[in-house]
């Protein structure tokens, strides 16, 4: 019975206070100062004698800001925050950077000073609704909820600081009049030919990049992340296995984004020529060896997307006389041109790296009707039973 100070483990120089009072036992780590441990033990013993200390009390849970950025527990031990312990170590660079903005702009102002066990689903729902009323898009509100949910999920398990996730299953309202932030603006067949020829004349070092994106639909980070070992010219395949965003080399966007994409015969020829050009450029630039990267800066490192936009893409777009687009519209062009010529939705979706064909359909469905190939005039004439029977049988078979 009582309060004791002990070194644990022996010889470590780390001092603990062990409390044994009224059938309750507690241990508290003090640190390497024995004198501080002895003084703390005397204070605890005095409080126990006077009945001013309840050993059944649970330690105070951290506030949301503390849980995110770090805090000290009841024993004075420093705890690493969720952002450093989880986000930076396990999330993609672009994701944890986005989460940091959400945390600083939305979550800490709303809940930063609240203990995490006091944040409720109702409070989360109120925050989301208020953000939409303030003019944020529903997609942005969903990102705020997802960020909070990721933080609280870890507080539930493995940290066991709260019993349930207050952001789980909170619905995201979507205003009826909300429009997409930016709809796809693909090039037509003729415009694609125009921009490619303009790049060939005005910016030949990036002609291969433009041809490659128009014929593979890669995300720009995937395109910049391509290396020569990813090219299989004999099988006409590209292995998409890395992504470069904000100067960081990461894996592709999702599990389905790591994939093989087919090359056209024309693209194979263009990339073979580009490889010869890169060998010549290596000698001219005085590089020690030819870069593994397909598309590079003047120092042989992966192409900087921001510089490409301002120094090459925008001037070439102006010179072409076409309506201004972004490089991402080359990916949109790949999808719409393939779908318009009747290629399988599932096939296009897979090669674009979408997780489901539904995503591809939702994004590009408006380009399908005007390219329909069925004869709509057949609706004017009732088909004979003989004509209708095969179609009905096929439909029944597909639905079984």
For 246-300, what is each residue's pLDDT tens digit?
888 888 877 778 999 999 999 999 999 999 999 999 999 999 999 999 999 999 9
Q: Is the pLDDT of residue 400 over 50?
A: no
Q: In the prediction, which pLDDT does 45 show?
A: 80
> What mean pLDDT is predicted for residues 98-115?
96
Residue 381 pLDDT > 80: no
For residue 57, name the pLDDT band (cuts at 50, 70, 90).
Answer: low
Q: Give the residue extent of every domain in the chain.
A: 2-50, 64-156, 189-367
CATH number of 189-367: 1.10.443.10
Question: Is there a common fold for 64-156 and 189-367?
Answer: no
Mean pLDDT of 175-195: 87
3-state SS string over the chain?
CEEEEEECCCCCCCEEEEEEECCEEEEEEEECCHHHHHHHHHHHHHHHHHCCCCCCCCCCCCEHHHHHHCEECCCCCEECCHHHHHHHHHCCHHHHHHHHHHHHHHHHHHHCCCEHHHCCHHHHHHHHHHHHHCCCCHHHHHHHHHHHHHHHHHHHCCCCCCCCCCCCCCCCCCCCCCCCCCCCCCCCHHHHHHHHHHHHHHCHHHHHHHHHHHHHCCCHHHHHCCEHHHEECCCCEEEECCEEECCEEECCCCHHHCEEEECCHHHHHHHHHHHHHHHHHHHHHCCCCCCCECCECCCCCECCHHHHHHHHHHHHHHHHCCCCCCCHHHHHHHHHHHHHCCCCHHHHHHHHCCCCHHHHHHHHHHHCHHHCCCCHHHHHCCCCHHHHHHHHHHHHHHHC
Where is pLDDT greater, at 40 or 353? Answer: 353
Structural domain 64-156, CATH architecture: Orthogonal Bundle (1.10)
pLDDT, one tens digit per residue, over 290-336 is 999 999 999 999 999 999 999 999 999 999 999 999 999 999 999 99
pLDDT-based confidence at residue 183 (cuts at 50, 70, 90): confident
């Amino acid at each position: 019975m009582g309060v004791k100070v002990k070194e644990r483990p022996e010889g470590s120089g780390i001092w603990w206070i062990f409390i044994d009072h009224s059938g309750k036992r507690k241990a508290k780590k003090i640190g390497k100062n024995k004198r501080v441990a002895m003084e703390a033990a005397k204070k605890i013993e005095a409080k126990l004698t006077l009945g001013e200390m309840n050993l059944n009390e649970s330690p105070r849970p951290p506030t949301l800001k503390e849980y995110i950025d770090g805090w000290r527990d009841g024993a004075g031990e420093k705890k690493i925050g969720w952002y450093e312990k989880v986000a930076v170590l396990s999330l993609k660079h672009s994701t944890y950077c986005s989460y940091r903005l959400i945390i600083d702009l939305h979550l800490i102002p709303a809940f930063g000073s609240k203990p995490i066990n006091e944040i409720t689903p109702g409070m989360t729902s109120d925050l989301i609704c208020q953000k939409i009323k303030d003019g944020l898009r529903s997609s942005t509100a969903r990102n705020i909820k997802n960020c909070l949910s990721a933080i609280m999920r870890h507080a539930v398990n493995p940290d066991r600081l709260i019993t349930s996730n207050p952001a789980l299953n909170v619905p995201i309202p979507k205003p009826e009049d909300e429009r997409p932030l930016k709809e796809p603006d693909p090039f037509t067949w003729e415009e694609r030919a125009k921009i490619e020829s303009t790049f060939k004349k005005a910016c030949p070092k990036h002609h291969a990049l433009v041809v490659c994106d128009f014929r593979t639909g890669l995300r720009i980070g995937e395109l910049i992340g391509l290396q020569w070992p990813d090219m299989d010219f004999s099988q006409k395949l590209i292995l998409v296995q890395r992504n470069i965003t904000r100067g960081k080399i990461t894996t592709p966007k999702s599990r389905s984004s790591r994939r093989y994409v087919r090359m056209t015969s024309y693209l194979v020829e263009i990339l073979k020529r580009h490889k010869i050009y890169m060998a010549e450029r290596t000698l001219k630039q005085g590089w020690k060896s030819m870069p593994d990267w397909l598309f590079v800066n003047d120092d042989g490192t992966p192409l900087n997307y921001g510089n490409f936009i301002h120094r090459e893409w925008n001037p070439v777009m102006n010179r072409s006389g076409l309506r201004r687009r972004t490089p991402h519209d080359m990916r949109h062009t790949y999808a719409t041109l393939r779908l318009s010529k009747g290629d399988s939705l599932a096939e296009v979706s897979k090669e674009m790296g979408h997780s489901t064909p539904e995503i591809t359909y939702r994004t590009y469905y408006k380009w399908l009707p005007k390219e329909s190939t069925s004869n709509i005039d057949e609706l004017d004439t009732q088909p004979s039973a003989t004509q209708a029977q095969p179609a009905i049988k096929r439909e029944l078979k597909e639905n079984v």
